[in-house]
Structure 1
């Protein structure tokens, strides 16, 4: 299925804002040049932040009035590099520069069964998909996973719309999702199932691993990530670039990619979510531990640590050093 690249830039005006969960803000934009926003599309937003202009991508939760009104929902990140803070500060009447709808997570037509798995704020990528499947009369199930109900955006709305097709797993209620059971159900089903997921890296890595263990078709597992979660808390580390004779410090609230750009070092990039691999760099040496936060590299590739994605990967220090250092070669 074709993947749509970024179209024109345009002006958008904020027409509604409200909180839809703890730390999650719903923002409705009215765009200058409306166009159809299919399920799985997102908007790229050009944001002014204290550290300079930043490009951020947000899933389109709802598209209304023939694409004139587009709903986004943004989680305020404790480790925000300025993007989520800027979005949460928006009020009615504010204007933004945004792209047209960009498709990188398309929903197929004709599968026998669909399972949509949303972890936390990942639900924003799947709301429109679930509605589309309901309208088609498709065989589908929506699995919602969260730490606590108060953090789960659109939970009541989705249960009202989809009824018994919704399964809810909440950690603090003692009902966490069992990935082996979920994927086992897919493997045992008499019909072919496509699974779509969006959420924390750990959840998606677990599903990918179980999917491979059951030898299920790779093409039937589809995902999108926001690339913001990892195994370790973000901390400052250093990147060495012998080819430029430069050292660049990466702060806890920025990425390697943004730190290099701020230092005047040009790199290739596109998705900024650890999905496309365009910003892949060769790892020459590591003093510390690399925290891969992408879904581009396989588990074995991450274990070898021969490469990392500049847009989301980080490093943390070991007990023997105050600050991690990663030596890279940019291609």
Structure 2
């Protein structure tokens, strides 16, 4: 399916921006969602939206000639502690290639086996960027299976030959950055649930939360990201929020593009085995922990519900 939002031709300085809401098992019911935008001097403007029921469309999009930059919502890497402890190859490209060669069943077995004899609290590790963003471990196979999203997504990124800042040098005209909509959601609407894939659990309050989120984004994006957002309200009509999440991925990709001369917005200390989520609020993580004004201890689940808290540092 493809929806057109209107033409954005004629701007002086533009960049093609893609926002991709990923899934570990795409289907017609739960497709990969891609929003196509244009970033000009003043605003990020939506052009069209596509839903991809299989990985063929995703791979084809990655292969299209640039210039473009895509923000994609899945963990591009694993935690250094996990990679080194399990004994996988010591570079991003090598361990991603190794993970892909295991096959889906073998990958699951490797992650399950790793956890089997480890003590509670030391079974699944988070990257530095996960801790900063409040996202779950990229080893997670159940509930929100971001581990399987890594397994399906990262090898395809590697095979496509795109450039991934800090992780892989590929075609400089095709760039992929890791996005995480949860960072924006928490900032704009806090703990409110804004989506659910289960029809019986979809509510009018969630629809209102999506509208509030989009409106807050429009109002605050110029200050927070440095450009305006021009996007239709009907992005909020999708109860699973895949359409809206794709827009949030595009926002983070557009911001990263604006920061391309400054490590695409990542801190100097970015771990080149793990990668980094692109968002201005995560750059504060470059500071020593004792200097942070807060300590994030929150995690978002697949319904968009926040658990945990934000604790002030003394």
Q: Taking structure 2 as the reference length, what is the TM-score of the superposition?
A: 0.26
- Greater percentage in helix: 2
Identify the structure with bigger relative contact order (alpha carbons < 8 Å, sequence gap 6+): 2
Return the index of the structure with the highest Cα Rg: 1
